Structure 1
Amino acid sequence: MNYPTEQNPTPFAQTYFHGTKADLALGDLIEAGYNSNFGKRKNAKYIFLTATLDAAIWGAELASGEGRGRIFLVEPTGPLEDDPDLTDKKFPGNPTKSYRSTDPFKVVGEVSHWKSHSEELVIAMKAQLEKLKDQGIDSLNDE
C-alpha cells in the first residue's frame, strides 16, 4: 500500500460550498446564464462559491425560488476571482472567502446537516437587501 508521505502527499483539491435552492445531484455542473438571486436578477454572468459554511448558509437562505435551501460541495472547473460585492472597500480581505467565476462548478457532495440563521436575522437581511434595491444600489456583479 502507498501511504501519504512528505514526498507522496495525498492529493486533495480545495472544496468550496454553494448555497442554493436548486435541486442538484452529484456530478451536475452549476453554470452561469441563469437568473441571479441578487441585483437586477437578470441572467447571471457569474456563478458564486465560498470557502466558508456561514456564507453558503446565507446563499441557501437568500436564494430565490420555492425549494428548500441546500448547500453543495463544489469544485471549480476554471479560475476564480474575488466576489466584488463582498470584498474590496466593503469588506477588505474577503473575510467570507467568496468568489465568482464564469466557468462551471462541479457538484461533488452535499452538506446534509447545517444550522440556519434565526428567522429574525434572515428577515432582517432580506429587508436590508430590499432597502439597497430601493435605493438603486445594485450588485457589482450586474456590471
Structure 2
Amino acid sequence: MSDVLGGGPFFHGTKADLRVGDLLTAGFRSNYRPDVVMNHIYFTALPDGAGLAAELAAGKGAARVYIVEPTGAFEDDPNVTDKKFPGNPTRSYRSTEPLRVVGEVADWTRQTPEALQAWHERLAPIRADERGEIIN
C-alpha cells in the first residue's frame, strides 16, 4: 500500500530516548488504551503531530520527535483517516514493520499547559475504556 501514500520525511513522537539507527517496533502498550498491545507502529509526516503524540505518550521522559523511515510497507492510519479525517489531511500512517530513527527534531511546536490538559481530559474516557475504539 505504501507506494500510493505521501512521501516523507516522517516523524514519530515518544518519550523514549533513542539514537540514530534504533528501530521502533510494534508490540508495546497503547498510549491511549494501556490495556491494548499495539500490532502497529504509528507515525506522521507532520512534525507537530508527532510532537503532540510525544507529549501525550505514557512515561516520565521528555517528549521527543524523531525523524524516521519505514523499513517496510505502511498504510493510512484508520484510527484517524477512516473515523475523523477522510483523505488523511493529518498525514498519519501505521506499519507492522519497524521504523528506523534517522534523526531528531528540536523545533516542533509544543502544546501550552492548558492545551495539553484539555487533550488529557479529552482522552481520559478512552484511557478509562468508557468509549472509543482503537483499530489495531
Q: TM-score range by the shorter chain?
A: 0.7 to 0.9
Between the aligned partners of 1:93 and 1:56, the Cα distance in structure 2 is 19
Instruction: Give SS of 1:140's match.
Output: coil
1:84 aligns with 2:86: no
Q: Which residue of 1 aligns with 2:101?
A: 107
1:49 aligns with 2:43: yes
| Corresponding letter in the other structure for 1:130 | A
The CA deviation at 1:34 is 1.6
Q: Which residue of 2 aligns with 1:22?
A: 16
**Structure 1 residues 124 and 105 mapped into 2: Cα distance closer, same or farther (>3 Å)?**
same
Cα deviation, 1:13-32, whole Å, max 9, x if unaligned, reads 73200000011000000011
1:126 aligns with 2:120: yes
**Structure 1 residues 97 and 73 mapped into 2: Cα distance closer, same or farther (>3 Å)?**
same
Say whether the 8 Å CA contact 1:72–1:108 is kept in structure 2: yes
Instruction: Give SS of 2:68's match.
Output: strand
Q: Which residue of 2 aligns with 1:10?
A: none
- Structure with higher Rg: it is 1
The number of aligned residues is: 129
Say whether the 8 Å CA contact 2:12–2:67 is kept in structure 1: yes
Q: What is the CA RMSD across the aligned residues, in angstroms?
A: 1.5
Q: Which residue of 2 aligns with 1:66?
A: 60
Q: Which residue of 1 aligns with 2:89?
A: 95
| Corresponding letter in the other structure for 1:136 | R
Q: Quick one: which of 34, 57, 65 aligns to 2:28?
A: 34
The CA deviation at 1:54 is 1.9
Structure 2 segments unaligned to the other structure (5+ residues)? 1-6
Cα deviation, 1:3-52, whole Å, max 9, x if unaligned, reads xxxxxxxxxx7320000001100000001112221224432110011001
- TM-score normalised over the length of structure 1: 0.83
Matched-pair identity in %: 48
Structure 1 segments unaligned to the other structure (5+ residues)? 1-12
1:136 aligns with 2:131: yes
| Corresponding letter in the other structure for 1:22 | A
- TM-score normalised over the length of structure 2: 0.87
Between the aligned partners of 2:90 and 2:96, the Cα distance in structure 1 is 19
Runs of 4+ in 1 over 3 A off after TM superposition: none
| Corresponding letter in the other structure for 2:100 | K
The CA deviation at 1:95 is 1.2
